[in-house]
Every structure is written in C-alpha cells, then in structure tokens.
C-alpha cells in the first residue's frame, strides 16, 4: 500500500510545534540490533542478496543525459553497466564481455558502442553483439544469443532503478516515492570515498538527529536543531526532516507559503542502501555500497536545478565536512565492535528511522530465506 508523504505545510507545522515544545517524533518502541549483524560474513552475504533482489537506485537520470551516456560500477559486488540508448531509454547490463568475461568499461562517459579491450568484441548501446574480429574462428555462433546480459531497469522519479536478480521482494518504485529530479536538474559532480566500516553504520547515522549537537558541533548544529525531527515511512523507505534555525522566519507567514526548500534538509532513505537529500542550493543522491563486511564505498552525486556557482560549491564543501565527521564516528563504531562490550545496539525512541530500516532488512532477509528453502 502506498503511503503519501506529508506536504511542506504539514511538515513545517509539525517542526515548529516540536521546536516550541522541545519534542521530536518518537518511535513506537526501542529496537535492539545484534552487534553480530555488523560482523557476520553470513549476514553480509544475506544483505547482498537483498540488494540484488530489490529495485535499487543505481544513479540519477541526470548522470545519463545523452544517447551513449553510461555509468559503470559495482553494485552489491556485481559489475553493472547502465547506458542511455539511441531511443532515449536507459538499460542496464551485467558488465562482462560474453567471450571471456572481461569488464567492458569503468566509470562514466559517453560512447557509441562498447568494445572489449581483450579481443575487441563490440556491443551496441542496446547490448547486442555487433562485431567479432576474425569471426570465422567462431563457426555457428549466434550473435543474437551472445549480447550483454540485461538486468531489469526502470527509470522513474529522476532515478535509474536496477534489479539484478528475480524475486518476490516488495517493489520499491511505486507512486509513494517522490519525483526527486525533474528535467531541469543537472549533475554537477560526483565523488567516491571508501570507509573502513560496515555499510549499516553509515545508514544508521543518516536516520536520526540525536547526534547533531555532539558530532556536528561546529558544522551542522549552529544551523540546525539537536534531536528535533519529523520522521515518515513510505513502504520500506524513510524520510527524516531536519529543520534549520531559519525555519523561524515562517512563523509570520501564511501556511500556504510554507516551503521546505531552504528551511530544512529532508533525508530520504530508499531501502536498502541509497539516500536522496535536499539542501538549499542542491540535492544529493548517495549510494552506500558494501565492499566487505567492514568496508564501504560511498558514491555521492551532486545535482542542482541552477547553474553551478560559488554558493553551490561552498554548500557542497560544507556537506562534505559534515560527512567527514560522520566518517570519524563510523570508524570509531567499527573499532568499538572489536571490544565485545555490546551484544546489541540499542536504538531508542528518537531513532525510529533506524528501527524501521533494521526491521525491514531482517524481514526481507527472512523472506528470501524462505523462498530459497522451498
């Protein structure tokens, strides 16, 4: 069932009420997550299966602006290539030559075709095998059966969703997800960082404002509030609204003029490992990509609906500074795992977003386990 997110006017009113009462949205109950789930290789493999069977945002549509534009990277440890075809549609494929399995391309760019650097087998933007050097050496080879292997792809809400494996896991691309990036939005830049900690540690930090004052004392806290949030769930996804202190200026304006842009960050966690966040000058799409049980790659796309300028660049640098503080905390948590001080992590009533994430992750893992058992 689709659950619509509240409009800006409603969210602003709830945040102002929380500010006045010094309250915040509370979860129904405390959640206790086993620390073993951050350390176990078996659990890590189960989480990768969830990512492969869930429609997961691979990149923003703006990263593929033209025919031949492509993004190639690993998703859930699987090489994937997404490309916009000559017909304007985006397709994604397993990024491996059908001859000897060489990865065809890395990173991003624009090409008219993809040629394997090993033996020069060439594929069109539609994934079809177009050419084989000295093809007489492969008698009776049916080119139509040796194209790139496709994975299910949907372009929606300004995002490109990829589903690697078949399964009955709940779809994540229904109407409940907002349209994040319209046609005016352009990709300004992208970055990649590797963090030496479990991917769920990063997700946990995104989903609560309980740490704003203590972790971001010199960055976010002077502009935001500590532990004041509106938390909403839509399917397995979560939106957390983090108000800025400038939200006070809306008190004297009619409710119809209450707009979220510029007075709050809205962090949308798209299950299981992607976030889309709003900022006054731009938005980000971040992919929290597991590399190992204790290693994570963070891929961040910066987008805006206005030309890049110094104001946007300063805002990006500011967000990056806050991310560095989260990285420091994540590394400290990972180190703390080895202490064996905790058997569980206790997520309190302020941390309902994390509860929602872990509960749905556990439920999806169990669904897949039962399907595999039958």
pLDDT of residue 171: 45
pLDDT of residue 170: 47
Q: How many domains does the chain have?
A: 2
d(CA 185, CA 133): 41
pLDDT of residue 215: 96
pLDDT of residue 73: 97
Within a domain: 172: no
The DSSP H or E segment spanning 324 is helix 310-337
Q: Return the DSSP state at 305.
A: S
Q: What is the CATH number of the domain that holds 77?
A: 2.102.10.10
Q: Which of 163, 192, 215 lies at the terminal end of a domain, its last residue?
A: 163
Q: Which of 163, 190, 215 lies at the terminal end of a domain, its last residue?
A: 163
Q: What is the CATH number of the domain that holds 310?
A: 3.90.380.10
Are residues 277 and 368 both part of a single domain? yes
Structure tokens at 310: 């110094």
Within a domain: 253: yes
Within a domain: 341: yes
Are residues 90 and 201 both part of a single domain? no
Burial of 362 by CB count in 10 Å (0-12 exposed, 13-18 middle, 19+ buried)? middle
Q: How confident is the model at residue 272 (pLDDT cuts 50, 70, 90)?
A: very high
Q: Are 330 and 307 in contact (CB under 8 A)?
A: no
pLDDT of residue 256: 62
pLDDT of residue 341: 96
Within a domain: 364: yes
Give alpha helix (H) positions in 141-286.
199-206, 212-215
The residue segments making up the domain with residue 186 are 8-54+182-373
Give the residue from 79, 86, 43 showing the smallest Cα distance to 58.
79
Q: Are 80 and 164 in contact (CB under 8 A)?
A: yes
Within a domain: 192: yes
Within a domain: 169: no
> Residue range 73-95: average pLDDT?
98
Are residues 188 and 86 both part of a single domain? no
pLDDT of residue 257: 75
What distances in angstroms separate CA 183 from CA 5, 71, 158, one per listed residue? Answer: 22, 19, 8
Confidence check: pLDDT of 174 > 60: no
Only one residue has tokens 């064996």, namely 340
d(CA 15, CA 237): 20
Are residues 102 and 135 both part of a single domain? yes
State what percent of residues in the chain have pLDDT above 70. 96
Are residues 50 and 149 both part of a single domain? no
pLDDT of residue 12: 96
Are residues 153 and 131 both part of a single domain? yes
pLDDT of residue 176: 78
pLDDT of residue 329: 97
Q: Return the DSSP state at 7.
A: P
Structure tokens at 19: 């500010």
Are residues 239 and 287 both part of a single domain? yes
pLDDT of residue 36: 97
State pLDDT tens for residues 15-35. Answer: 999 999 999 999 999 999 999
pLDDT of residue 175: 52
Lowest-pLDDT range, 44-58, 251-265, 323-337?
251-265
State pLDDT tens for residues 294-311. Answer: 999 999 999 999 999 999
pLDDT of residue 254: 78
Are residues 33 and 80 both part of a single domain? no
Q: Are 275 and 282 in contact (CB under 8 A)?
A: no
Within a domain: 74: yes
pLDDT of residue 1: 41
Within a domain: 81: yes
């Amino acid at each position: 069932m689709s659950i619509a997110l509240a409009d800006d006017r409603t969210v602003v009113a709830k945040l102002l009420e929380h500010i006045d009462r010094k309250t915040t949205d509370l979860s129904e109950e405390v959640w206790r997550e086993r620390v073993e789930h951050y350390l176990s290789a078996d659990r890590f493999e189960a989480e990768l299966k969830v990512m492969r069977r869930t429609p997961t945002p691979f990149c923003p549509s703006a990263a593929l602006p033209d025919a031949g534009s492509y993004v190639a990277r690993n998703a859930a440890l699987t090489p994937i290539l997404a490309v916009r075809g000559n017909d304007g549609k985006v397709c994604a494929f397993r990024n491996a030559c059908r001859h000897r399995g060489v990865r065809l391309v890395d990173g991003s760019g624009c090409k008219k075709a993809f040629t394997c650097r090993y033996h020069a087998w060439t594929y069109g933007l539609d994934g079809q095998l177009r050419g084989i050097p000295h093809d007489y050496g492969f008698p009776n080879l049916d080119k139509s059966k040796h194209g790139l292997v496709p994975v299910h792809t949907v372009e929606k809400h300004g995002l490109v969703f990829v589903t690697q494996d078949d399964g009955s896991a709940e779809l994540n691309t229904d109407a409940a997800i907002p349209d994040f990036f319209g046609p005016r939005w352009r990709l300004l830049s992208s970055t990649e960082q590797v963090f030496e900690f479990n991917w769920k540690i990063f997700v946990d930090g995104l989903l609560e404002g309980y740490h704003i004052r203590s972790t971001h004392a010199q960055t976010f806290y002077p502009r935001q509030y500590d532990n004041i949030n509106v938390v909403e769930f839509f399917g397995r996804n979560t939106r957390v609204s983090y108000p800025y202190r400038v939200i006070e200026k809306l008190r004297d304006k009619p409710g119809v003029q209450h707009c979220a842009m510029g007075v709050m960050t809205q962090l949308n966690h798209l299950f299981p490992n992607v976030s889309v966040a709003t900022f006054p000058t731009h938005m980000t799409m971040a992919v929290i990509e597991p590399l190992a049980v204790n290693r994570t790659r963070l891929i961040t796309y910066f987008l805006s609906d206005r030309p890049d300028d110094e104001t946007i660049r300063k805002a990006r640098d500011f967000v990056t500074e806050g991310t560095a503080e989260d990285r420091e905390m994540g590394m400290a948590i990972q180190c703390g795992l080895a202490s064996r001080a905790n058997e569980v992590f206790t997520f309190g009533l302020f941390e309902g977003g994390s509860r929602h994430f872990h509960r749905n992750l556990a439920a999806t893992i169990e669904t897949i386990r039962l399907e595999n058992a039958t």
